Amino acid sequence: MRTTVALAAASAARWASRTAGRGKGSMIGGLVAAKIDPNIMGRLAAGKRTALVTGTNGKSTTTRMTAAALSELGEVATQADGANMDAGIIATLTLHRPAPICALEVDELHVPHVSDAVDPEVLVMLNLSRDQLDRVGEINMIERRLREGIGRHPSMTIVANCDDVLVTSAAFDAPQVIWVAAGAGWVGDSVSCPRTGEPIVRSGTDWHSSGDENFRRPTPTWWFDDENIYGPNDFVAPMALSVPGRANRGNATQAVAAAVAMGADPAKAVAAVGTVGEVAGRYGIHQVGNHSVRTLLAKNPAGWQEALSMIDQDADGLVIAVNGQVPDGEDLSWLWDVRFEAFETMQVVAAGERAADLSVRLLYAGAEHTTIPDPMAAIASCPPGRVEVLANYTAFRDLGTALERAERARGSDLRGAEQ
């Protein structure tokens, strides 16, 4: 009875939010439902085959890929907007109640209690690195919580990135692990062993703890290169993706491994991940005046390092937008961990609420730049042609809204001209 009332109240809240023009209402619906029935997540997930996807970076893209790879097995419930905490997960389960399969993105701190509620068949662990320290906390603490949470679910299959020391530590003792060589472009947060505190010794792609010879990089079952994906039983297939970057090839490999663990055909899973393009605005291309604008999102040092490698150095302009609101982390000292020296030969426009902080960092990096806090004005200042925009969380969100507004206005003008 409580669940029925919670679902009815959630539906009413969604309707009220949409009617008032406050958005789609899915989040408020999830919040209302959880308030009325604290156990509703588990009730809604009961009987479903569920894959959870977590990590500091790449969750949304990998979840979308996992959902695509699982779609041959039936309807898949998954978040459309990356809402990865309790309210967003409840909203997704509420809106897709008939779906027999779930692919759910989950914030790292929420994985233990979400796992307790939904009893997942598979947990995909991408990477662990420092995020907004003033909001999230120390990364070794998160690794310990994940390790404890995994220990409560011995029947759960873990799909883990063996190139990431912290992920490997969290999954190392689990009975059922599928190891994937998904890559680790950033190792700045795993210089010491999370189990012993001793240094991690690296040799090429291999690594081990100097304090525990048994804790070393596991042998992967799945891996990839610039052309193919490789798996168990001599499986090999070409893997062509619609999203850029080597990190996304690693994400796709883990998505395929997870789908195959749940019964998907490997070749069909590889084809399916290749269809995933724009993900919640990431990698989207917008036409604004005489500029073709591609948007990239980065939220922490590891994410920025990967995103910087995706920048097209031949583009006609580059805008980097940085805010410092609570969801971004108000402490922007991480800017000094990002290698902005890569833009010594490219003109940059520093934008966002914290454009001045970014400008100081670019100055020390030797990157020629101008400072225009308004991201749309920054884009307009670039030469006509292709403009790359790299933004952190709230800057990316706000810019997406502004770009949509500009595109709607452009469409209205074109329709008026035709009439």
Alpha-carbon dihedral angle through residues 270, 280, 80, 326, given to the nearest 10 degrees: 130
Contacts of 410-416 with C-beta under 8 Å, sequence gap 24+, read 410/287, 410/288
CATH of region 285-418: 3.90.190.20
Both tokens of residue 190?
């795993």
User: Do 128 and 166 form a contact (C-beta atoms < 8 A)?
Assistant: yes
Q: What is the pLDDT of residue 188?
A: 81
Residue 6: the pLDDT is 75
The CATH 3.90.190.20 portion of the chain extends over 285-418
Block means of pLDDT (10 residues each) for the chain, 419 residues, are: 75 71 66 82 95 95 97 94 88 92 95 96 95 67 94 97 97 97 88 92 94 93 98 97 94 98 98 92 88 91 88 91 89 87 83 96 92 96 94 92 82 60
- Residue 102 confidence (pLDDT): 97
How far apart are alpha carbons 267 and 239 in whole angstroms?
10
Minimal CA–CA distance to 205: which of 216, 215, 213, 192? 216
State the Cα–Cα distance between residues 381 and 317, nearest whole angstrom.
Answer: 9
Question: Would you state the CATH architecture of domain 39-273?
Answer: 3-Layer(aba) Sandwich (3.40)
CA nearest neighbour of 162 among 113, 118, 213, 125: 125
Write down the pLDDT at residue 134.
53
- pLDDT of 341 reads 85
* Portions of the chain given CATH number 3.40.1190.10: 39-273
∠ CA 204-208-211, rounded to 5°:
145
Measured CA to CA, the distance from residue 104 to residue 177 in angstroms comes to 19
